[in-house]
Each structure stands twice: as C-alpha cells, then as structure tokens.
Amino acid sequence: MAEETIFSKIIRREIPADIVFQDELVTAFRDISPQAPTHILIIPNQLIPTLNDVKASDEAALGRMMTVAAKIAKQEGIAEDGYRLIMNCNQDAGQVVFHIHMHLVGGHNLGPLLSK
C-alpha cells in the first residue's frame, strides 16, 4: 500500500491550501511555490504514487483531471493565450511528492518546454 502524502491531507482539508476545485474524483489547489502567474496542482483524490502505478480503474479520475484543467484555465483567463500541463514520473523527471499530480501553468509566455 502506498504511503500517505501531504496531498492526502490537503484533500481531506486537514492542512490549509487554496483549493480552487474539488469533487469526488479530483482536487485542485494553488501551488505554494508558483513557477508562473497561474500554477495550480490537479490531483486524483485516490493516492496513486506515480504514473507507472496507474490502472485501468483510474481512467475516470485521470480524465477528470484533464477536464478540470481546461475548466480552471478558462476561469483563470489563460485558456485563450495558452497554458501548459505537466506531469512528472519519478526522481529523474523531478517528481517530489509521490501522489501523481498535474501542474497547470500559464499566465505568461512559457517558452520552449525543453532546451537542447
């Protein structure tokens, strides 16, 4: 069984977070160290440590993460100019909290994703 993370406590509202969306499948909240004017984390309410741990039964939550991202981007006023969705898997990709999460970032020109 996966170990509980700080995100589990945010989902249950046991620790404070600026939650912008929550339903039975996902929770979205503002990143405490934003890398762009808009930086929101979207997470499944069920603990899934990495993308490698995703099962077919998780498809509804993962799909909801995408639709919620689009909804929040529109609410934040960044949908028209553009935004980026980022998911990291394991240490080499930069995953720090082992509860899958999607970064919704935007609000200015983000430039190229990767440099050579």
Distance (Å, rounded) from C-alpha 73 to C-alpha 83? 7
**101 included as an active-site residue:** yes
Catalytic position from the list 39, 99, 101, 103 = 101
- Compute the residue count for the chain: 116
Catalytic residue list? 101
